[in-house]
Amino acid sequence: MSELPRFDRGHTDDLMSFLAASPTPYHAVANAAQRLEKAGFRQVAETDAWDATSGGKYVLRGGAIIAWYVPEGADPHTPFRIVGAHTDSPNLRVKPRPDTGAHGWRQIAVEIYGGPLMNSWLDRDLGLAGRLTLRDGTTRLVNVDRPLLRVPQLAIHLDRNVTADGLKLDKQRHLQPVWGLGDTVRDGDLIAFLEQEAGLTAGEVTGWDLMTHSVEPPAYLGRDQELLAGPRMDNLLSVHAGTAALAAAASAPGLSYIPVLAAFDHEETGSQSDTGADGPLLGTVLERSVLARGGTYEDRARAFADTVCLSSDTGHAVHPNYAERHDPTHHPRVDGGPILKVNVNNRYATDGSGRAVFAAACEKAGVPFQTFVSNNSMPCGTTIGPITAARHGIRTVDIGTAILSMHSARELCGANDPHLLANALVAFLRS
């Protein structure tokens, strides 16, 4: 791998564009696919028979994408090198009957998705985006990327105890956004509005998967612009890095592994869906790739036995105002390079052999890395890593990028860390 500058602003600029253009998992996988198409990848349908041709291929299903590159002359038992990530982020999602309101306000009924920092969604200009399903069964992406909704906070004059007692939000009553004025609630208003936005005829939409997003664009922050603030870094930062790494790895000569990007939906709610890491999608795609190259069950078993997955997700950088919440001997810093996540209770999948794989990739890329473990007094989160390892019998290593404000509507990382992560992933996929 050729030497790269320590700070590649071009990579981070591209990440900012990717974040801004990907308000939903459906948009994220469409944008990832577009980047892979430019690198020579082609989409294959799950309903078609797959052939043994070499080259880059990808499958789209809902908010998930599985992409892989088969080198010339790859054997049926050639193992895989997988970068795993997830496309979803905590937010407010539109309910089946969205039109509501009271006291002269028109509102949208929303449901809480995942575990957002709810206060971060207050008094913020919100857009609305997602997937519309039409009468003929096709889908259309829609993105109203302008101030449309707002969840107004109660004035301090009407809640004098908020300073002393802290803000307390009822998920049902306090997070329904306003989007206009009117005494009459008319069923169908929101969908009719979105049909117009998407250039569709009235009544054409029969299903929808819609969610809110902050319309404030990503931005460099700080005196020297060494920080990056933006939405959905958990975990589109890894999706973007994995996409860039796969495209770069596909151009490398003499690959001894089949490099793969697996970006799943629904990680924030447990991964149990047909597009989640706990579903069959990854295993089905990998097995079909083996069989398309003339392989047998024995070839599949051999390939999986030597396969490694890097589960890449954001992790917690040490917080300057809450350092006591972190393990006292493990303080990952922003712009300190990617983090290796370890938990002996298998909330992360990393073990000693996995650490060696990641350390070798970072050494090859010339990238420093750090280690994260939770404070013993604090519960530890989890990722797609343990699910991938258990479901497919694949050696899996949990890694990521250290950030602040995880699950906020707007998160914070070092401006150089996305580039460092991508470099490490390229080295891993090319190994």
pLDDT in tens, 290-329: 999 999 999 999 999 999 999 999 999 999 999 999 999 9
Q: Residues 6 or more apart from 169 whose CB is under 8 A from it? A: 118, 119, 175
What's the full length of the chain, in residues? 431
Pick the closest to residue 378 from 321, 313, 333, 323 (CA basis). Answer: 323
Pick the closest to residue 282 from 364, 202, 391, 207 (CA basis). Answer: 391
Residue 295 burial (10 A CB sphere; 0-12, 13-18, 19+): buried
State the Cα–Cα distance between residues 253 and 275, nearest whole angstrom. 32
pLDDT in tens, 145-204: 999 999 999 999 999 888 878 899 999 999 999 999 999 999 999 999 999 999 999 999
* Residue 231 confidence (pLDDT): 98
Find the helix packing angle between 25-38 and 233-249, rounded to 10°. Answer: 20
* Residue 161 confidence (pLDDT): 87
Q: Are 233 and 411 in contact (CB under 8 A)?
A: yes
Q: What is the pLDDT along the chain (431 residues), one digit of tens a residue?
A: 334 344 678 999 999 999 999 999 999 999 999 999 999 999 999 999 999 999 999 999 999 999 999 999 999 999 999 999 999 999 999 999 999 999 999 999 999 999 999 999 999 999 999 999 999 999 999 999 999 999 999 999 999 888 878 899 999 999 999 999 999 999 999 999 999 999 999 999 999 999 999 999 999 999 999 999 999 999 999 999 999 999 999 988 889 999 999 999 999 999 999 999 999 999 999 999 999 999 999 999 999 999 999 999 999 999 999 999 999 999 999 999 999 999 999 999 999 999 999 999 999 999 999 999 999 999 999 999 999 999 999 999 999 999 999 999 999 999 999 999 999 999 999 97
Looking only at the bridges linking them, the beta strands covering 402-404 and 395-400 are unpaired
Q: Are 178 and 150 in contact (CB under 8 A)?
A: yes
Q: What is the DSSP string of 135-189?
A: TTS-EEEEEEEEEEEBBPPPPGGG-TTHHHH-----TTTS---EEEE-S---TTH
